Amino acid sequence: MTIENTNVSRRTLVKGAAWSLPVVAVAAATPLAAASTTANGVAWTDSSTSLLALRVLDSASVITATALVTVPTEFSITTGTATAGFSALAAQDATVSINVGRPAGINIPLGTARGFGVYSVDGVATAAGERTATYNQVLGANIGFPATTWTGTRSVTLPSNGTLAIPVEFGLAGTNSGISVSLLASFPVSLTVTLPGGTPLTASTTISVPVGAGIL
C-alpha cells in the first residue's frame, strides 16, 4: 500500500505567499489609476478673423476695420472629475481678469493711438469702473498705445470632468490723436480665472491688426 505525502512544507508556503503579493498589489492599483483626475485649466479656444465692427468703449461710436483683424472670441474652463475649488453643477462666482498689453516694436513718440479693451464677457457688458486704460507719459502727456485691464466676476456652472466655454467681445479703448499706424500691431492678451477656493488659472493669446485696418 502506497501512502502519498500531501504535506506542504513551510518553505513552500512562504515562497508562494511572496510571489502572490505583487499580483494583488498590481490589481489594487489599477482602479486607482483609472480614477485619476485632470487638473483645472483655462485656455483661449476660439477667435475671429474678419472686417470687424468694433465698439469704442464708453462711447456710442463703432469703427469698422478695412483689413482683416484677428481677435479672440472665447475662452474655456476645463475641470477634472474630482478637483477641488468648486462644486460641480452649482452656480458660483469666478473672478476673471483680462489684460491687453501694448504692441511691441511700434514706437509712437508723440500722440496717442487706440488699443483694445473688454466690451463684454459671457454676454454681460463690462462696467466702466471695472476697466482701466493706462498710457505711457512724456512730460505729463499721454503717448502711444494704452495698456488695458478688466477685472470682474461672472456666475459659472462648472461641469465635473468637462469644459465650459465663455464668449468674450473686445472693443477699442483710448483715443486716437490723429496719427496713422502703418505697421502690423500684435497686442498680447493675458487671462486669469480664479475659481472659489482655487488657485489662479492663466492663458494667453494675441490680437492682430494688419496695416491699413484703420481702427487704431
Confidence category of residue 194, pLDDT binned at 50, 70, 90? very high
**How far from the centroid of its chain's Cα atoms is residue 203's Cα?**
4
Decide if 77 is inside a domain.
yes
Residue 171 lies in a domain: yes
User: Which percentage of the chain shows pLDDT scores above 90?
Assistant: 65
**What's the pLDDT band for 16 if we cut at 50, 70, 90?**
very low
**Which of the two residues, 159 and 89, has the higher pLDDT score?**
159
Q: CA 69, CA 211: separation in Å to the nearest integer?
A: 10
Give the pLDDT of residue 164: 93
3-state secondary structure string across 133-167 = EEEEEECCEEEEEEEEEEEEEEEEECCCCCEEEEE
pLDDT in tens, 48-86: 999 999 999 999 999 999 999 999 999 999 987 645 555
pLDDT digits (tens, 9 = 90+) for 120-143: 999 999 999 999 999 999 998 999
User: Is residue 134 assigned to a domain?
Assistant: yes
Structural domain including 46 reads 37-209
Query: Is residue 26 scored above 90 in pLDDT?
Result: no
- In total, the chain counts a number of residues equal to 216
- Would 31 be classed as within a structural domain? no
- Residue 25 resides in a domain: no
Instruction: Give pTM, 2 decimals.
Output: 0.80
Q: What is the number of structural domains in the chain?
A: 1
Asked if residue 16 is part of any domain, the answer here is no
Q: Cα angle vertex 173, ends 169, 174, to 5°?
A: 175
> What is the pLDDT at residue 17?
43
How many CB atoms are located within 10 Å of the residue 50 CB? 10
154 in a structural domain: yes
Specify the pLDDT at position 4: 42
**Is 190 inside a domain boundary?**
yes
State yes or no: pLDDT of 91 exceeds 80.
yes
Confidence of residue 159 (pLDDT cuts 50, 70, 90): confident
Average pLDDT of the residues of the chain: 83
Q: Is the dihedral of CA 195, 198, 200, 202 positive or negative?
A: negative
